[in-house]
Amino acid sequence: MINPFDNGNISFDAMKKFTSDHIERVTDNPVAALTARLAPTNAAFTAFDGTLTADDDKLGKRKGSKYNKNNFRDALPAAVAKIAMAVQAQFNEGSAEFMECFPHGRAYLGHCKDEKLENALQSMVDGVTAHTPPLATTVKTAAADLLAGWQAVLTPSKSASGAKTTTQSAKKAARAALSAELFKNLLAIAQQFPQQPETLDLYMTPSLLEPHGPTPPPPAPVAPVATRDANGKWSVAYPDPSQIYWQIWGRTSANPNWSNMGDTQSSHFPAPGADIEPGGVTWWEIKFCGEDGDGNQSTPFSNVISFGPVPTE
């Protein structure tokens, strides 16, 4: 028999809301067979809810660890550059001593992967230590501080990542246990009220389990449609009657780049060609876009209407 509460499309939040509502309904409509089910259901629900709280806590720690790690890496190139300049001033950049400190080059520490950085920093520390003196002790200290600093931010980051895996496993196990108890409750309701499906609404609200996906994105904005009739009259069709202002964009043989040639209003359509078309040119192209009244484009551009021998681009 299939347990409907094992449906992977049911979110953790939906499971929480459903169970909380279900427990209230069983409490408010007492029947001995169902009241006996409250204890195991509450125990499973408490364990399940606890894993959600733990997951939120660990999420905050993971974000904090990532923030600290990213800040360290952002500041690292400048700090390494100071150490590299001290080594270069003492031995020259192409020297064996410099290569000992930076076997992959100084830039490597700024872009290598996290798992490679500790070894690269250790190589820098070992190289600087081996050549102190003549390098100043402050250079050695700066290199050691960078290594220690990276280890300080990396360890919590690794721990947080591992904790995420552990928390997810605990959530799944607690959810499975709660699903089993809810299924037992559903069977108890069916056994207590045979041939009475309407009774289910007293104890369960299935709609709370229905997935509620993200709000669909708004439809793509509609482009206006420009027309020029046989008499040379211009019009712009647009489904939104509140769109009043229109910008006229064109390019011509005198200026082949698209530019704003002026504006007009919906009430002016159909507009004579003299109000829209440029004069004294061998070719032109016109298109329109809506304007919000403050000079800002408020619709996509319309189709392009051309006249004359327009060159191909």
Tell me the pLDDT tens digit for each residue of 73-93.
788 888 888 898 899 888 887
For position 54, what pLDDT does the model report? 62
Q: Which sequence spans correspond to the domains of the chain?
A: 4-203, 225-307
Binned at pLDDT 50, 70 and 90, residue 205 comes out as very high
Taking residues 108-123, report their average pLDDT: 81
pLDDT of residue 211: 66
Percent of the chain at pLDDT > 90 equals 40
Q: Which two tokens stand for residue 198?
A: 């309407």
Tell me the whole-structure pTM to 2 decimals. 0.38
Mean pLDDT over 6-29 rounds to 90
Q: pLDDT grade, residue 310 (50/70/90)?
A: very high
Nearest to 181 by CA among 29, 30, 23: 23
Average pLDDT over residues 176-180: 92
Beta bridge pairs of residue 116: none
Q: Is the pLDDT of residue 277 over 80?
A: yes
Task: Evaluate whether 283 touches 309 at the Cβ level (below 8 Å).
Answer: yes
Look at phi and psi of residue 105 and say left if phi exceeds 0, alpha if psi is from -120 to 50, else beta: left
Q: Assign 160 a pLDDT band (cuts: 50, 70, 90).
A: very low
What is the amino acid identity at position 211? P
Give the CATH fold of the 225-307 domain: Immunoglobulin-like (2.60.40)
Q: How far apart are CA 254 and CA 241, in angstroms?
A: 35
Q: Which range has the worst mean pLDDT, 97-101, 111-115, 244-248, 274-278? A: 111-115
Alpha-carbon separation of residue 31 from 25, 28, 181, 306 (angstroms): 11, 10, 17, 79
